[in-house]
Amino acid sequence: MPRRSCSAATFAARFLPLTVPALALALLTLSLTGCGRKDAARAPSPGTAPAASTAPGKKILLYGNGAEPQDLDFQIVTGVPEHHLALTFFEGLVSEDPQLNVVPGVAERWEISPDGLLYNFHLRADAHWSNGDPVTADDFIQSYRRMISPALGAAYANMLWYVVGAEDYTKGKLTDFAQTGFKAPDARTVQLTLRQPTPFLLHAMNHYAWYPLPIATLKKFGALDRKSTPWTRPENFVSNGPYVLKEWRPNQKIVAVRSPTYWDRTTVKIDEIHFLPVELADTEERMFRTGQLHVTNEVPLTKVAVYQRDRPDSLRIDPYNGLYFYRFNVQRKPFDDVRVRRALALAVDRESLVKKVTLAGEQPAYDFTPPDLAGYVSQHAFPADLAEAKRLLAAAGYPDGRGFPKVELLYNTLEKHRTIAEALQQMWRKNLGVDITLFNQEWKVYMDAQHTQNFQIQRAGWIADYVDPHSFFDLWETGGGHNDTHWGNPEYDRLLRTALGAKTTAARYEIYQQMEKILIDEMPVLPLYFYTYSRLISPKVKGFITTPLDNFSWKYADLAP
Amino acid sequence: MFRFITSRFLQSLLALFLVITATFFMVRFVPGGPFTAEKAVTPEILRNLEAHYGLDQPLWRQYLDYLGSLARGDLGPSFKYPNRTVNEIIFDKVPVSAELGAISLAVALVLGIALGTLAAIRRNTWVDYVASSFGMIGISIPTFVVGPLLVLALAIHLGWFNASGWYGPADRVLPALVLGIAYAAPISRLTRGGLLEVLNQDFIRTARAKGASEFRVVTRHALRGGLLPVVSFLGPAVAGILTGSFVIETIFQIPGIGREFVNSAFNRDYTLVLGTVILYAVLIMALNLAVDIAQAWMNPKVRLES
């Protein structure tokens, strides 16, 4: 909170009793000068807050979790709030430590065949469900079977398509599950046969699509591949991770308590985590200040600078494995001309954009992959070269922007995207003499426009599903589900197919370098910056370390009294 | 009276049917669907999802199916929240919104009628100016400004309340106050206007001439007629206030139906959109009927005829 003088507010406050308008004025002044006490984050009034229910010695962490989760059946959800909850309740075969090393999860060890196609995971003997049952290999196999079954219709089923037969099974071309590459040779071995080498498989398996489900419990409430059965209700819910579900009051809170059966329970330090669904960043920030939240889901854009200055120990900005970009429709004029696409890309001042507009420590993007992504460092970057941009635009037939066709930039209705779009609109007008108009649509209409390629240039973002450059190059395959630019390049597709078969990581990364070169030459999308994840976090919270995918294991976190 | 109510009931039923039909088709023709998402699902998975919810059927078939289950009182499953039904969501959240609404309405009526009456009987004095300024300010400053201002002052600076949430009795105070003030403002203006009109009429002069005290004149004789505009305002207002306020519920993190009403449209949660629209329509119709009856009782000039 800014530590400025409160004189304006005090002045107004003296006249408070006089009139009602003065009250409103005083409050307004109070908020504008923002004068607050330094210890703004303090305990709320007793008996009312979730914080106040803290029994002595019990560590309860209050976590702002964004929107209300759709469900706790993690095979049918897709959102970020659900992701945070999945990490709390479940554990897959392997896990990741904060430094992104693959560490044992339910599997205590594993072997990979020399050709990279056969994986054998050996489950630990002390892995248990929260009802005391052991976690078996069959639980994993049946969970995978459910995940890829056509009847369930899981949105993330394709995360399992690395395994032989999985894709055909989802598409209904294969009905005999026994013919897929998911096997359980015995009660404590899970065997996966891949259709091609997938060097990042262990990282990809951190995704909740790979978590096991309590199969015996699910079966009690109906057929395995049915959704919407009551197994996710708190009274029925069973999990195998560090926490178990105690209470779920929709739109109020989800209470997770330490699991008494988790194999690594001695590492877990916090007794309870309360997930509060708070949609507005401003509301979160106010709750943080009254002590109703220890960790928020985001920070209001306008408050980042304030916290940076006054309470830097409460502000956390972590790199986030994602790219903010603009997507061109390469079939619509004028973006069918690569020179126009390049001109627009080269004429953006990304340094100013991240310093003055986006404000949360983002990295300007001059290539297509976040910096140092699992050891991959792009050797190609396009320059911020205004002279070259002007030359390209003139060569395309629009010297100084003359005769440039009418262009609409589409973004989804959100303050942040509008501000960024306005900044770019200015830059292009000033640098190139090109005028574009801005056009916003409500989220689903905008998504529909994207998937039907009904736009000229469109704001977009991509957060990777696993930490590997492949997750960024995979996007631009000809006709790929997220490409949506109409752009395609046979050489690029060929390289993408050969990458996974490369003998060593170095050889594979060399192929990605060639692919990145193609992207920079043809510029089907315009990279702007690499995301960061910012949140407010109480200095009392220790050991809260996130990976660039915003994966974090609650078992390393602690809460000081 | 009986004929009036029966005929109004049948009219409402027809209107409700039209509302349901229009909503059903309108929400389907909006671009994007419940499964439109940033992470594109493959066409095969999309087909599986649609088959699960019966969206692969022709639209007229889905419409008839919906009407069928509606007749059985089943509003269907939610698309956004797969393990909850629309019935459950409505039964879960309406009481919360109704509680907030009832408290706010009490605040609004007490504050609004008191201020409006004071303003009318002390016309063109400072009392009138203060009360009228309150009315103007209350009408012109939206709740999403008043709400955070009150939170800043009373929760963050003074520490009397939580910044948001719906856990204990104290959490009811701020949202009810904000919502109450928003409705008190127009009520005070309407009361003042209505009362001024009545106070100039002959029967008031008669009452005064008969020696009735000013208090008695206002409460016994004038208010009954003076509140007529307030009562017509209250019909739709009560429906709105009871079904929740999207803004208040979002700012204060209240698990009410108002948020579902708006968010369901953003989520293209077809069944939840319909469920909340039906709820709202039924309430409006019922309350408008109640208003008509109340007006007939309060105003001798109005008779209940269809």
- The dihedral sign for the CA sequence A507, A512, A517, A518: positive
pLDDT band at A56 (very low <50, low <70, confident <90, very high): low
Report whether pLDDT(A3) > 50: no
**Would you say A272 and A258 are in contact if contact means Cβ atoms under 8 Å apart?**
yes
Distance from CA of A29 to the nearest CA of B (A): 10
- Are the CB atoms for B134 and B188 separated by under 8 Å? yes
CA distance A328 to A434: 16
Rg (CA), chain A: 26
* Helices B126-140 and A20-33: angle between axes, nearest 10 degrees: 40
Kindly indicate the confidence band of residue A60, based on its pLDDT and cuts at 50, 70 and 90.
Answer: very high
Contact state of B160 with A45 under an 8 Å Cβ cutoff: yes
> Residue type at A138?
D
A11 touches chain B (CB under 8 A): no
Under the banding of pLDDT at 50, 70 and 90, the label for residue B305 is low
Determine contact: A31 vs chain B, CB below 8 A: yes
pLDDT score at A482: 86
CA-closest candidate to residue B31, choices A479, A324, A410:
A410
**B168 Cβ contact partners less than 8 Å away, ≥ 6 residues apart:** A47, A48, A49
CB-facing half-sphere around the CA of A235: CA atoms within 13 A: 3
| Angle of helix B2-29 versus helix B270-298 axis, rounded to 10 | 150
Q: Which of A20, A72, A279 sits opposite B137 (nearest CB)?
A: A20
Q: Give the C-alpha separation, A203 to A101, whole Å.
A: 9
Q: Which residues, at least 6 apart from A414, have a Cβ–Cβ distance to it below 8 Å?
A: none
Residue (of A421, A390, A429, A416) closest to A326 by Cα position: A421
- Is A252–B166 a contact, with Cβ atoms under 8 angstroms apart? yes
CA closest to A69 among chain B residues: B81
Rounded to whole angstroms, how far apart are CA atoms A202 and A94?
7
pLDDT class of A467 with cuts at 50, 70, 90: confident
* B306 pLDDT tier (thresholds 50, 70, 90): very low
Chain A closest-CA separation from residue B272 CA (Å): 14
Q: Which residue of A has its CA nearest to B52?
A: A151
For residues B124-151, give the mean pLDDT.
89
Residue A302 near chain B (CB below 8 Å): no
Residue spans of alpha helices (H) in A175-296 = 201-204, 215-220, 281-289
To the nearest whole percent, how much of chain A has pLDDT over 70?
90
Chain B contact for A287, CB < 8 A?
yes
Q: With an 8 Å Cβ cutoff, are B167 and A171 in contact?
A: no
Q: Residue A39: pLDDT band by 50, 70, 90 thresholds?
A: very low
Confidence of residue A1 (pLDDT cuts 50, 70, 90): very low
CA distance A422 to chain B (A): 23
Range with the poorest average pLDDT among A399-403, B197-201, B246-250: B197-201
Which of A24, A76, A481 lies closest to B42 in CB terms?
A481
Question: What is the rounded CA–CA span in Å between residue A368 and residue A391?
Answer: 24
Interchain contact B133–A (C-beta under 8 A): yes
Contact between A212 and A75 (Cβ < 8 Å): no
What pLDDT digit, counting tens, does each position of B53-95 carry?
Answer: 888 899 999 999 999 999 999 999 998 898 889 999 999 999 9
Report yes or no: B53 at the A interface, CB cutoff 8 Å: no
Bridge-based pairing state of the strands A102-104 and A182-186: unpaired
Question: Any idea which of A349-358, B142-151, B208-217, B260-269 has the lowest mean pLDDT?
Answer: B208-217
Report the Cα A76 to chain-centroid distance in Å.
17
Using an 8 Å CB-CB cutoff, list chain B residues near A30: 149, 152-153, 157
Asked whether the beta carbons of residue B44 and residue A171 sit closer than 8 angstroms, the reply is yes
Q: For residue A372, is pLDDT > 60?
A: yes
Write out residues 36-55 of A within 8 Å (CB-CB) of B: 36-37, 40, 42, 44-45, 47-50
CB contact under 8 A, A287 and B164: yes
Contact A31 B252 (CB under 8 A): no
% of chain A at pLDDT higher than 90: 68
Number of C-beta neighbours around residue A441 at 10 A: 19
Return the pLDDT at A11. Answer: 33
**A60 near B CB under 8 A:** no
Q: Which tokens is A262 given? A: 């988790």
What are the DSSP calls for A30-62, one per residue?
HHHHT---TT-S----TTTSSGGG--TT--EEE
- Is ipTM strictly over 0.90? no
Angle at A375 between CA A373 and CA A378, to 5 degrees: 65
A174 touches chain B (CB under 8 A): no
**Long-range contacts at B130-136 (CB < 8 A, ≥ 24 apart):** B130/A19, B130/A20, B131/B188, B131/B192, B132/B188, B132/B189, B132/B192, B133/A19, B133/A20, B133/A21, B134/A20, B134/B184, B134/B185, B134/B188, B135/B185, B135/B186, B135/B188, B135/B189, B135/B192, B136/B185
Which residue, B280, B260, B83, is CA-closest to A228? B83
Please list, residue by residue across A529-547, b when 16 or more beta carbons sit within 10 angstroms of its beta carbon and e when fewer do.
bbbbbbbbbbeebeebebb
| Rg of chain B taking only CA atoms, in angstroms | 24
**Rounded Cα–Cα distance for residues A91 and A106 (Å):** 7
Distance (Å) from the alpha carbon of A172 to chain B's nearest alpha carbon = 9
Contacts of A250 (CB under 8 A, 6+ apart): A68, B81, B84, B89, B92, B255
pLDDT per residue as tens digits for the range A79-97: 889 999 999 999 999 998 8
| Number of Cβ within a 10 Å radius of residue A111 | 9
**CB of A428 within 8 A of CB of A434?**
yes
Neighbouring-strand partners of residue A193: A118
Structure tokens at A392: 């390209």
Best of B47, B52, B144, B145 to mutate (most A CBs within 10 Å, chain A): B52
Given a cut of 70, is residue A560 above it in pLDDT? yes
CB pair distance less than 8 Å for A292 and B162: yes
Query: Mutate which of B30, B38, B42, B161 to test chain A, going by most A C-beta atoms within 10 A?
Result: B38
> A444 vs B41: CB contact, 8 Å cut-off?
no
* Closest CB from B32, B82, B159 relative to A71: B82
Interface probe with A: pick from B29, B39, B269, most Cβ of A within 10 Å: B39
If one counts every other C-beta atom within 10 angstroms of the C-beta of residue A76, the result is: 23
Q: Which residues of B touch A27 (CB under 8 A)?
A: 149-150, 152-153
Q: What pLDDT score was predicted for residue A44?
A: 40
Beta-strand relationship, A407-412 and A541-542:
unpaired
The answer to whether residue B130 neighbours chain A at the CB level (below 8 Å) is yes
Of B51, B157, B252, the CB nearest to A36: B157
Cross-chain Cβ contact B36/A447 below 8 Å = yes
Give the CA-trace dihedral at B230, B235, B239, B244, to 10 degrees: -10
Query: Could you give the 3-state DSSP secondary structure of residue A558?
Result: strand
**Residue whose token pair is 């319909």:** B274
- Kindly list the residues from chain B whose CB atom is less than 8 angstroms away from the CB atom of residue A72: 83
Cβ distance of B137 and A24 shorter than 8 Å = yes
Tell me the shortest Cα–Cα distance from B40 to chain A, in angstroms: 6
Give the gap in angstroms from C-alpha B151 to the nearest C-alpha of chain A. 8
Query: Among residues 62-91 of chain A, which lie with CB inside 8 Å of chain B?
Result: 68, 70-73, 76, 78
Range A400-407 average pLDDT: 92
Which of B148, B167, B266 faces A443 most closely, judged by CB atoms? B266
| Partners of A407 in the β-ladder | A436
Q: Before A134, cis peptide (omega within 30)?
A: no
B255 close to A (CB below 8 A): yes
Nearest by CB to residue B37, choosing from A78, A251, A442, is: A78
| For B38, nearest residue in chain A (alpha carbons) | A447
Averaged pLDDT of chain A: 87
Q: Which residues contact A556 (CB under 8 A, 6 or more apart)?
A: A98, A267, A543, A544, A545
Per the CB < 8 A criterion, the answer to whether A285 and A296 are in contact is yes
Q: Is the pLDDT of residue B235 over 90?
A: no
Q: Which amino acid does the sequence have at A283?
A: T
CA–CA separation, A272 and A294 (whole Å): 13
> Which of these, A409, A402, A492, A411, lies nearest to A446 by C-alpha position?
A411
Report the mean per-residue pLDDT for chain B: 87
- For residue range A494-512, list pLDDT tens digits in order: 999 999 888 889 999 999 9
> CB–CB of B92 and A76 under 8 A?
no
Half-sphere exposure of B35 (CA within 13 A, CB side): 21
Nearest Cα to B237, choosing from B173, B185, B298, B177? B185
Candidates A230, A249, A295; CA nearest to A559 is A295
**Banded model confidence at residue A6, pLDDT cuts 50, 70, 90:** very low
Instruction: Select the residue from A37, A287, A296, A415 to test the B interface by mutation, using most B Cβ atoms within 10 A.
Output: A287
CA–CA distance, A466 with A550 (Å, rounded to integer): 11
Q: Are B165 and A40 an interchain contact pair (Cβ–Cβ within 8 Å)?
A: no
Cα four-point dihedral sign B86, B48, A466, A111: positive
Q: Are strands A189-193 and A182-186 parallel, antiparallel or unpaired?
A: antiparallel
| Nearest residue of B to residue A34, measured between CA atoms | B152
State the pLDDT at residue A55: 55
Beta strand A436-441 pairing with A407-412: parallel
Contact with chain A for residue B42, Cβ under 8 A: yes
Cβ proximity of A199 and A500 under 8 Å: yes
B130 contact residues in A (CB cutoff 8 A): 19-20
Q: In A, which residues are within 8 Å of B168 by CB distance?
A: 47-49
The predicted-structure confidence for A278-320, as pLDDT tens digits, reads as follows 988 999 999 999 999 999 999 998 899 899 999 999 999 998 9
Sole residue written with tokens 């059927």: B57
- Answer with the residue of higher pLDDT: B305 or B71: B71
Q: To which H or E segment does residue A401 belong?
A: none
Question: Does residue A17 carry a pLDDT above 50?
Answer: no
Q: Does B87 touch chain A (CB under 8 A)?
A: no
| Nearest one of A468, A517, A472, A463 to A492, comparing CA atoms | A517
Residue A22 has a pLDDT of 38
Q: How far apart are CA A468 and CA A321, in angstroms?
A: 10
Question: Chain A contact for B92, CB < 8 A?
Answer: yes
Integer Cα distance of B264 and B34 in angstroms: 10
Q: Please indicate if any CB of chain A lies within 8 Å of the CB of B89.
A: yes
Instruction: Say whether pLDDT at A549 is over 70.
Output: yes
Question: Residue B109: how many CB atoms within 10 A of its CB?
Answer: 18
